[in-house]
Amino acid sequence: MSGWLVIAGLGPGDDALVTHDVTEALADATDIVGYIPYVARVAPREGLVLHASDNRVELDRAALALGLAARGRRVVVVSSGDPGVFAMAAAVFEALEAGPGAWRALDIRVLPGITAMLAASARAGAPLGHDFCAINLSDNLKPWALIEKRLRLAAEADFAMAFYNPRSRARPEGFARVLDLLRDCCGPDRWMLFARAVSTPEEELRIVSLADARPDMADMRTMVILGSSRTRRIDRPGSPILYTPRFVAEGA
């Protein structure tokens, strides 16, 4: 087949954080497929077709991209951050596995991007400097009971935790439940980072104790990071630094 499919991460927002490989793929593409605001980040040009769609049609979007590539088009499926982290890479492979056998012969590549959790962590210092986990707080594709179980187990293991999709207009109450659960499991003194729209002009960072965290501090553009019991805050002129030490004493 002459077509190809690239699944690319556009990073957290700043064009300077898009990788060279992704920039080259976008320049060579005939078709861009993705969620409406991510497609809007790609500059229109002659010969380029933009296929923007809503955020709850991931499998339809993936099938469209695979079908276009099978017809000889050069297709880039775009995600924000990294396409393999709660994004389109898994959806494309789900569609590939369920689709026509001929799709499996396509040239398919995944190009990484800077994730929201890494961009947020870097802005604040290094809260993910030791063992951590990432949890998607949306219950659109998994039951709420599973989210609660993973939160409790991660708290028991004393991971720092990076939370994607913390709070939306359709799910305003879920993050309040998360905060109550975390206070019950971790106590009130953990440091929590709210990093909104990192690397964009709307960027806003807040570092507060878990006791002072409020549901309205987060929305769908916010990456939330809860430190482990060892995460520290360094106060200094300007912005404080949040980091997790690299070591844990034996028997601790």
- pLDDT digit string (tens) for 125-134? 999 999 999 9
For residue 5, the 8-state DSSP code is: E
- Give residue 55's pLDDT band: very low, low, confident or very high (50, 70, 90): confident
In this structure, what token pair is assigned to residue 40?
Answer: 């809007």
The separation between CA 185 and the C-alpha centre of its own chain, rounded to angstroms, equals 25
Query: CATH fold of 4-114, please?
Result: Cobalt-precorrin-4 Transmethylase; domain 1 (3.40.1010)
pLDDT of residue 174: 86
User: For 215-225, b where at least 16 C-beta lie within 10 A, e where not — what string?
Assistant: bebbbebbbbb
- pLDDT digit string (tens) for 56-107? 899 999 999 999 999 999 999 999 999 999 999 999 999 999 999 999 999 9
In this structure, what token pair is assigned to residue 82?
Answer: 């990294």
**Interior angle at CA 150, CA 148 and CA 156, nearest 5:** 105
Helices (H) then strands (E): counts for the chain: 7, 13
Question: For residue 64, which of 76, 81, 46 has the smallest C-alpha distance?
Answer: 76
- What are the DSSP calls for 177-197, one per residue? HHHHHHHHHH-S--EEEEEES
**Domain residue limits, the chain:** 4-114, 117-243
CA 188/CA 195 separation, integer angstroms: 20
CA 18/CA 62 separation, integer angstroms: 22
What pTM, to 2 d.p., does this model score?
Answer: 0.92
User: What CA–CA distances, in Å, run from 75 to 95, 96, 211?
Assistant: 15, 15, 47
Residue 167 has pLDDT above 90, yes or no: no
Query: CATH fold of 117-243, please?
Result: 3.30.950
